[in-house]
Copies of this chain bind each other. A is one copy, B any other.
């Protein structure tokens, strides 16, 4: 089945202990799309400026990412510049130019509106809600969020949680959202806010999955080769949603396999600068690493 993502497209300038990449292709929809397309065709809704080069479009289009929903507006493309600490556990934002993304009002093209699987990348809850309202009977809608929206748009976020099926957030965010310091209690409390599925990302420590029917823990793939953590969360979400949309059926087993596929696409992504490694990855590479991850989990 097809999959829609709504999020940012950006120029990223990234500094890590391993080097620097200037104005490379970035943004949540891009990382998500390049991970998800390994499993299923992706429809992208985002906004860029007139400075967005054709080669970036071609890179995405050649990889099953449909750009009919990529709006071009007068002005420049969103630009971000970040620098990671020596152990890459922290990052500092050097510069942000929201440009055309500053007043992003996602317009879902008419022929996208019946897409069954939908991912709302991190953004203002009101913006995410506007997408929900444009969709016609979606089967499975998942949102990402962040601490900022809990600070400045909590009501909107709580309203959104009543309208979506799944939420992906990190461990500190789930604690902030619920006011619970124990991760398990916080995960269960988030389920009570509406979503049927909650995925709590713990970075190098993997993730916890909460649903009404099951709980599931998965470690991160043990990569020794982290080059650039940018996009780890979105490439996780891309692998997760891509695999689920590919399956179509929302069974427990598919959900669990999807979490493992998300873990794999995130681990591949952080081994290259920007989207480089994701763009070059094949489904065969993903499957080989999935098998390795399962070995790590079962000790086989």
Tell whether A208 pairs with B184 under 8 Å between CB atoms, given A215-B296, A256-B299, A299-B214: no
Q: In the bound complex, how far is the Cα of B299 from the Cα of A295, in angstroms? A: 16
Q: Closest residue to A188 on the B side, CB-wise? A: B224
Given contacts A184-B222, A206-B219, 16 further A-B contacts (CB under 8 A): A86-B181, A182-B226, A183-B204, A183-B222, A184-B223, A184-B224, A185-B224, A202-B205, A205-B205, A208-B219, A214-B299, A215-B296, A216-B297, A217-B219, A217-B297, A253-B299
Interface check A87, CB cutoff 8 A: yes
Interface check A252, CB cutoff 8 A: yes
Find out whether the CB atom of A181 lies under 8 angstroms from the CB atom of B87: yes
Q: In the bound complex, how far is the Cα of B209 from the Cα of A50, in angstroms? A: 51
28 A-B pairs with CB atoms under 8 Å apart are A87-B181, A182-B224, A182-B226, A183-B204, A184-B222, A184-B223, A184-B224, A185-B224, A202-B205, A205-B205, A205-B206, A206-B217, A208-B219, A208-B222, A214-B300, A215-B222, A215-B296, A215-B299, A216-B296, A216-B297, A216-B299, A217-B219, A217-B222, A217-B296, A217-B297, A218-B219, A253-B299, A256-B299
Determine the chain B residues whose CB is within 8 A of the CB of A295 once the complex forms: 214
Binding site for B on A (CB under 8 A): 86-87, 181-185, 202, 204-206, 208-209, 214-219, 222-224, 226, 252-253, 256, 295-297, 299-300
8 shortest A-B CB distances, which residue pairs? A217-B219, A216-B299, A205-B205, A256-B299, A184-B222, A184-B224, A185-B224, A87-B181
Shortest distance in angstroms between A229's beta carbon and chain B's nearest beta carbon?
13
Q: In the bound complex, how far is the Cα of B217 from the Cα of A202, in angstroms? A: 14
Determine the chain B residues whose CB is within 8 A of the CB of A217 once the complex forms: 206, 219, 222, 296-297
Determine the chain B residues whose CB is within 8 A of the CB of A87 once the complex forms: 181
Shortest distance in angstroms between A10's beta carbon and chain B's nearest beta carbon?
28
Q: Closest residue to A257 on the B side, CB-wise? A: B299
Query: Looking at the complex, which one of B219, B253, B256 makes contact with A219 (CB distance below 8 Å)?
Result: B219
Shortest distance in angstroms between A213's beta carbon and chain B's nearest beta carbon?
10
Shortest distance in angstroms between A251's beta carbon and chain B's nearest beta carbon?
11
